Amino acid sequence: MTPSPLLLKAVRESRLEIAQEYGALCSELDLQKKIKQSFKQHPFLWLTGAVSAGLLTTLFGLKRSPDRVVSAVAPVSTGSVSSSGTLAKAGWVAGALQIGKLLYPILKPIILEFAHKSVQSSLAKKGKS
């Protein structure tokens, strides 16, 4: 028995509808794409929200402890660097690395062109000598 042409046409149309619904569902559930699109359409609102969240977290997120009582006894020195100084230095280094990461795509062409020109000039000087 061969299937009728009407039945085959109905199956094709059904498959096409299912493919379209599946595509629409996938695009609807793609959260990363939606967030990127929203950020591109409304960058000021996103930045304002991020600044507001940071400010609110800073103001209300920290539990303040009562003032500490300073004792008259001097702390015993172990001969090592103070941990607060070490942590501060580590924080500055981490911040500098993050800034470097952000600026790398912008500065890379400039640095490469500078290196290219300096190599060419040094080779030209050696060629004249």
Does residue 110 sit within a domain?
yes
**pLDDT tens per residue, range 38-78:** 888 988 888 898 888 888 888 887 666 666 666 655 555 55
Assign 3-state DSSP to the chain and report helix, strand, coil percentages, each to 5. Answer: 80, 0, 20
Task: Identify whether residues 55 and 4 lie together within a single domain.
Answer: yes
Residue type, 54: G
What is the chain's Cα-based Rg? 32
**pLDDT tens per residue, range 6-24:** 999 999 999 999 999 999 9
- Predicted TM-score (pTM) above 0.75: no
Q: Which residues contact 46 (CB under 8 A, 6 or more apart)?
A: 38, 39
Task: Identify whether residues 46 and 10 lie together within a single domain.
Answer: yes
**pLDDT tens per residue, range 74-111:** 555 555 545 667 878 888 888 888 888 888 888 888 88
Does residue 66 sit within a domain?
no
Per-residue pLDDT at 3 exceeds 90: no
Does residue 80 sit within a domain?
no
Question: What is the count of structural domains for the chain?
Answer: 2
| Integer Cα distance of 118 and 114 in angstroms | 6
How does the average pLDDT of the chain come out, rounded? Answer: 81
Length of the chain: 129
Does residue 40 sit within a domain?
yes
Task: Identify whether residues 54 and 90 lie together within a single domain.
Answer: no
The structure tokens listed for 7 are 């039945």
Does residue 70 sit within a domain?
no
The structure tokens listed for 119 are 């190599």
Domain that holds residue 25: 1-60
Does residue 51 sit within a domain?
yes
Does residue 67 sit within a domain?
no
